[in-house]
Amino acid sequence: MEQLTTYHPLSGISTMTYTVFHATDLSHIGEADADEADRAAWFTRAEARDLMVERQVTDGPSLTALGFYLVTIG
């Protein structure tokens, strides 16, 4: 697992910090926490890009992390 970046999504408003990781060779070991997600799925780079282009990814932290990944790794 590699740390890609750390960023502050609410600079000047909150001290919240997000860290983005890139991991490979992952295994599905359980169900998603119902309080955290209503659905979890695996996507290829192309599928993730398409979801962003089609405006299916709507939250800022996910858009930032995926965008950073696509311009640096993908």
Residue 74 has pLDDT above 70, yes or no: no
Look up the pTM and report it. Answer: 0.72
Q: Which residue has the higher pLDDT, 73 or 64?
A: 64
Find the angle CA(22)-CA(36)-CA(3) to the nearest 5 degrees: 15
Question: Domain extents for the chain?
Answer: 43-74
Residue 3 has pLDDT above 80, yes or no: yes
Provide the mean pLDDT of the chain. 87
